[in-house]
Chains A and B, each alone.
Chain A
Amino acid sequence: MIDLLGYGAFFLSTALIFAIITLGLNLQWGLTGLFNVGIAGFVAIGAYTSALLTTPDTADRIGGFGWPILAGWLGAMVLTAAAAAFTGFATLRLKSDYLAITTFGVAVLVQLVTLNAIGLTGGPFGVAFIPRPFAGLQGNPVAFNFVNLAIIAAVTLACYLALERLSRSPWGRVLRALREDERAAVSLGKSARSYRIQAFAVGGAVMGLAGAVQAHFIGFIAPDNYLPTLTFQVWAMLMVGGSGSNRGAVMGALVVWAVWIGAGWVTSALIPTGWQARAASLQIVAIGVMLCLILLWRPQGFFGPRNGRGME
């Protein structure tokens, strides 16, 4: 029973971290129409920034600086926002698929840096001993898991409320107008460049925060956490939940993560041990099938605006 409770808390914590990333993507794609396929890169920047800032001093790499966890999270947001703003600035002239290819390239680049800049990131061995919030409670696993869940849920709620306010503000209205018709919005006095960079930066800050929170939740990060699979999962979450809706972003993350974990259980229960490494790919297949079904039956996702984008 206690195992199950602990597992439930662990499951929800992971799903909510995904929800934060998906909220960031919803601002960029759902609201502004920016085809960002470099999510994993921005999450990685946040995770490594916070890890380097908060870990104790280490002999064989730069840092860590031993800062408090909250300072690490703030630093992660600032640095990821800057990296995302720079990406937005560098890709000002790119639209749709071209923007997607370029942001994908950014993510690959970031991942390769984490893998090879050993003096900064620990290379393939990653960064360990990332301080965990309320580490004093570690003796009592259930309480520790629930405190972590509470912290992550609070961060998710804060992101949700802030983004909800932003999307309903005149600022969000400009982003929606740019998504629908950039030329018309410019003729009405809105600077497409400036808002595009802002959308990149704000969405990036949220993704970076999610990466940082996850790093402190697991206590260890490595380049393998930030492969394109992560980007794919987050996109699936937004599509399932409903692009354009913050509530949809959170719900989509919970549902898709449940399917992902469920598919993992089923394959490990049904498939002989020798084949299980290969069977892991079936998790991606399960998400893909789910995505197809959603697109067939409810293309706007669970919470997407009716007759929203992609319907006509």
Chain B
Amino acid sequence: MTASPILAAKDLTRRYGGIAAVNGMSLDVRPGEILGLIGPNGAGKTTMFDLLAGSVIPTSGQILLAGRDVTGHAAHRRLGQGLGRTFQIPRPFPELSLVENLMLARQNQTGERLWASFTSPRRIAAEERVAREKARDLLALVLLDKLADQPARVLSGGQRKLLELARVMMADPQVILLDEPAAGVNPSLLEVLIDRIRAINASGITFLLIEHNIDMVTRLCNRIVVMASGSLLCEGTPEEVARDPRVIEAYLGGAGA
């Protein structure tokens, strides 16, 4: 268990005026694991995700991705560096077809350069063929292949979560941040989702998972990190965390106080 972390946050802080949404938070994500990140509402979990994904710049602290300092790097560079994310409320491109949603996510596409459409049309066509095939395979993996050519706006909330997972997979990331994948997903689709996350994880991809569905967290994760008031409260196996009086205090005490 001493493998160097694939994603590490060191003493991350993000202040909004006088309030620290995340306050001196550190965590290590080990290669190949599914790490759970839980905590009461307002604990700073989503801000932590935004920091790791680069869409919010930390006030202080450091982010290491596969040992490399990426703290100040722009959000759009993260996926190319191996870190993908999904959103708490899914953000599909509603007027793009499902296949297009996925094809967009490939990195370093020749055809995304302005002049390339005129100078290297053949290369683009070849790349597009490969991308389309891969997109269809991934859509099949999340049971959306029948809707491949429909615009994404026809999808239900749960299907949108699956689409986001497939979409980020297009870029072959090493680590995926999942923000509440179970929220609003019906039980049978949730089983699909859990099964697919396991399968993707088995292929070597690491997950960091924010989730309120404790059943899902205990089923997927070997290790859980608990946040409260922007800081680390404790970490351990699901059993250890469930027994920890500080965790119970954080979840129930806030409401009782």
- A: which residues have CB within 8 A of B? 162, 165-166, 169-171, 173-174, 176-177, 180-181, 183-192, 198, 202, 305, 307-309
A170 touches B111 (CB 8 A): yes
Give the contact-size bracket for chain B. Answer: 35 or more
Q: How far is the CB of A303 from chain B (nearest CB, A)?
A: 15
Q: Which residues of B contact A180 (CB under 8 A)?
A: 93-96
Q: Is B235's CB within 8 Å of the partner chain A?
A: no
Subset of 27 A-B contacts with CB under 8 Å:
A165-B118, A169-B117, A170-B103, A170-B110, A170-B124, A170-B127, A170-B128, A171-B111, A173-B100, A174-B104, A181-B92, A183-B87, A183-B91, A184-B92, A185-B104, A186-B55, A187-B76, A187-B84, A187-B85, A187-B91, A188-B79, A188-B105, A188-B171, A190-B112, A191-B76, A198-B114, A307-B151
A184 to B55, CA, bound (A): 11
Give the chain A neighbours of B55 by CB distance below 8 A. 183, 186-187
How far is it, in angstroms, between the C-alpha of A308 and the C-alpha of B94 when the chains are bound? 10
Contacts of A308 in B (CB 8 A): 95
Q: Decide: A202 and B114 in contact? CB cutoff 8 A.
A: yes
Whether B104 lies near A169 (C-beta < 8 A) is no
Q: Given the complex, which residues of A lie within 8 Å of B127, measured CB to CB? A: 170
B136 interfacial by beta-carbon distance below 8 Å: no
Specify which chain B residues have a CB less than 8 angstroms from the CB of A188 in the assembled complex. 79, 104-105, 167-168, 171
Contact status of A165 and B171, CB under 8 A, knowing A189-B79, A191-B74, A305-B95: no
Instruction: Pick the contact of A184: B74, B77, B87, B151 (CB < 8 A).
Output: B87
Q: Which residues of B line the A interface, CB within 8 A?
A: 53, 55, 74-80, 84-85, 87, 91-96, 100, 103-105, 107, 109-114, 116-118, 124, 127-128, 151, 167-168, 171
B53 touches A187 (CB 8 A): yes
Interchain nearest-CB distance for A148 vs B (Å): 27
Alpha-carbon distance between A167 and B116 when the two chains are bound, in angstroms? 13
Q: Are A189 and B116 in contact (CB under 8 A)?
A: no
- Cα A186 to Cα B74 in complex, Å, equals 9
Nearest 7 A/B pairs, CB to CB: A170-B111, A184-B91, A189-B79, A169-B117, A180-B93, A188-B105, A191-B76
* CB-defined contacts of B116 to chain A, threshold 8 Å: 169, 171
B114 engages A189 (CB within 8 Å): no
**Known contacts A170-B128, A173-B96, A183-B55; is-contact A189 B77 (Cβ 8 Å):** yes
Q: Are A187 and B112 in contact (CB under 8 A)?
A: no
Residue of A nearest to B75 (CB): A186
Inter-chain contacts of B167 with A (CB < 8 A): 188
Q: How far is the CB of B222 from chain A (nearest CB, A)?
A: 27
Q: Report whether A189 and B105 are in contact in the complex, using a CB–CB cutoff of 8 Å.
A: yes
CA distance A179 to B76 in the complex (A): 16
| Nearest A-chain residue to B53, judged by Cβ | A187
Given contacts A170-B128, A186-B55, A186-B75, contact A177 B112 (CB under 8 A): no
